[in-house]
Amino acid sequence: METWAGKTVLITGASVGIGEAFARRFAREKANLMLVARREDKLRRLAAELARQHSITVDVLAKDLSLPEAAGEVFEETERLNLQVDGLINNAGFGIGGRFVETDLKRNLEMLQLNIVTLTELTHRYLPGMLARRQGVVVNVASTAAFQAVPYLGAYAATKAYVLSFSEALHEECRDQGVLVMALCPGATATEFFDTAQVAEGTARDMLRRAQTPEEVVEAAFAGIRRRSSSVVSGLANSLLSQATRFVPRDIAARIAGNIMKAR
């Protein structure tokens, strides 16, 4: 996309963290926004601020995207508003920390619905229009956890492995048709993730010491969009670590990750 001015970008999980940083960054580019998240009060405050500061149109939709019907309802709302979605940022997601057998099954299934099924459905609904217009960008937020098994965060890491593989496949399918599909793989980021995932306090504290800001992650995404990359890892250290897993046996990589994530 040469310019985002006057284009419409749909961002999920837009009320905080990386999603909010994406909203602010696209607003600076004069893109109109459709912001989706569960917390309507936060969305409306952010929308009012961005519309006022940047003279753009900002629509909001409060929606729990872990519900099976939610993606379809998002699409119906953009159709009702007659929005042409030129950019889709599938950012909404969460993780669950701890020993898998000790975690809540219902919550795990909600995570799979949000991180995998909703992301897939939204991509499937908006990608055809982009291909027909021969322009558009889809950014699917994965994680550095996508590159190896992560004990004590196992189901979450598996969802992000899906996102990475899915996005890279679609990148190849779409690259000659003017549409970019890209996976964004942040490492530890200063967001609500660790609180939501209930990662052990000591582990979370250690990881947050070297965490990036959401703004740094979003700048890495914009650099990847400019390069038309199939995937981008945010941060040099994260990039080196993600590549290092290629040279380590998978069971050893899992053991190392497990030692890092084990409660302490």
- Is 156 tagged catalytic? yes
Give the chain's length.
264
Which two structure tokens, joined as six digits, stand for 119?
């992301």
* Cβ neighbours for 201, distance < 8 A, ≥ 6 positions apart: none
User: 154-182 burial, b for 16+ CB within 10 Å, e for fewer?
Assistant: bbbbbbbbbbbebbbebbeebeeeebbbb
Return the closest-CA partner of residue 184 out of 156, 219, 210.
Answer: 219
Catalytic residue among 126, 152, 156, 162: 156
Phi, psi at 114, each rounded to 5°: -70, -55
Which two structure tokens, joined as six digits, stand for 125?
């609904």
Which two structure tokens, joined as six digits, stand for 231?
């995937």
Within 10 angstroms of residue 195's Cβ, the number of other Cβ atoms is 9
Return the closest-CA partner of residue 138 out of 176, 173, 170.
Answer: 170
Alpha helices by DSSP H, 147-213: 154-174, 193-197, 201-209
Phi, psi at 229, each rounded to 5°: -80, 150
Tokens 């999980």 map to which residue?
13
Radius of gyration from C-alpha coordinates of the chain: 18
Q: How far apart are CA 73 and CA 89, in angstroms?
A: 17
Which two structure tokens, joined as six digits, stand for 249?
């046996």
Catalytic residues: 156
